[in-house]
Amino acid sequence: MQTFIYNALPGRIVFGAGRSLEVASELERLGANRALVLCSEAQADAAQTVAISLGTLCAGVCSEAVMHTPVVKTEHVLELVKKLEVDCLIALGGGSAIGLSKALALRTGLPQIAIPTTYAGSEVTAVLGETADGVKRTQRSLEVLPEVVIYDVEQTLQLPASMSAASGMNALAHAAEALYSQDANPLVSQLATQAIEALASSLPTIVRQPHDRQARSQAQYGAWLAGTCLGVVGMSLHHKLCHVLGGTFDLPHAETHAAMLPHAMAYNAEAAPQAMAVIATALQTHNAPFGLFELVKNLNLPLSLKQLGMQESDLPLALELTMRDAYWSPRPLEKNALHTLLHNAYHGLAPFTP
């Protein structure tokens, strides 16, 4: 048996259709009675429904969450938190809403209830990524871990098929990298394998039949497992690339994960053969990077950074920032190889394996 360390994270998971209606009882369990509901503009109507269900327990709704958690936005909303004398944060949405909630919790110590509407998995991690001056940086702290997460499939039914697919690939990336993380351990590897299987089998169904509750529930289950993996092990090259591309060039978070994952996997393929074999088996394919590339293609997601709005002239800066403060990687970072990786990803070429 390999030697390993496993640090379990605290948290209460409430899983089931319609259970977001129980948010008032969860709020009372926390001893809170002035909650602020956080969301993005797109989720404003759903947030209002939650606010109405809370009645006098709701202090207000803030629909200002945006991608990549800019510090300037957090500081603006922090003034509202103080003004309303908020004693609990409720994040309804994907990574943007949950990121804002985490950033506020870090600054205030307030408890959080997360109601995910996507498959990002951020809700079960003690990781916060914030963007300031065009650079996205991450940190780990139990202060940002939500106390309660409510997985209600009903909250995901309005998520467009394309966004569902991209968000699911974001989650799948957490699980894939967990398999060759520096902190990998047997339990996380089991969770990661189940997550990949659940997401790879459910996402194509969601694209074909967006209102399939069983597929969406399966995707939520996979996202929970994948997020749990990310919460207890370190990140590697793929996440570093996505943080650079999203934080510096403002590329869409989930779609960037989808486009980059096959290339990051290919880069580390020879250095992590056991992980690649597990991923390939979970995808029911023979080659993990190419299997992921085909999955992205079958989900009708953008395959290239060019499609996501990046300029080719930005690639040198992306390379420089990826090499700076590098995350641990099974294969050491090599400038020429990373240049090839970014070139292939920019043009949407098949992943290159040595």
- CA dist 124 and 139 (Å) reads 14
For residue 181, give the amino acid letter: S
Question: Which pLDDT value is given to residue 1?
Answer: 65
pLDDT tens-digit series, residues 284-302:
999 999 999 999 999 999 9
Could you tell me the CA-to-CA distances from 199 to 10, 94, 210, 227, 282 in Å, in that order? 24, 17, 14, 12, 10
Q: Do domains 12-156 and 161-347 have the same CATH topology?
A: no
Those residues whose C-beta lies under 8 Å from the C-beta of residue 209, and which sit 6 or more positions away, are 215
Asked if residue 90 has pLDDT above 70, the reply is yes
Q: What mean pLDDT is predicted for residues 199-222?
A: 97
Mean pLDDT within 323-345: 94
pTM of the model: 0.92
**Structure token digits, residue 349:** 């070429």
Across the chain, mean pLDDT equals 95
pLDDT band at 354 (very low <50, low <70, confident <90, very high): low
| Least-confidence region, from 47-51, 167-171, 322-326 | 322-326
- Give the start-to-end residue ranges of the domains of the chain: 12-156, 161-347
Residue range 315-344: mean pLDDT, rounded: 95
Which CATH fold would you assign to the domain 161-347? Dehydroquinate synthase-like, alpha domain (1.20.1090)
State mean pLDDT over 251-278: 96
What is the predicted pLDDT for the residue at 93? 96
DSSP 82-122: HHHT--EEEEEESHHHHHHHHHHHHHH---EEEEESSS--G
Q: Out of 3.40.50.1970, 3.40.50.620, 4.10.140.10, 3.40.50.720, which CATH number does the structure's domain 12-156 have? A: 3.40.50.1970
Residue 48: other Cβ atoms inside 10 A: 16
Taking only the tens place, the pLDDT of each residue in 112-142 is 999 999 998 999 999 999 999 888 898 989 9
Reported as a single tens digit per residue, the pLDDT across 54-77 is: 999 999 999 999 999 999 999 999
pLDDT at 138: 87
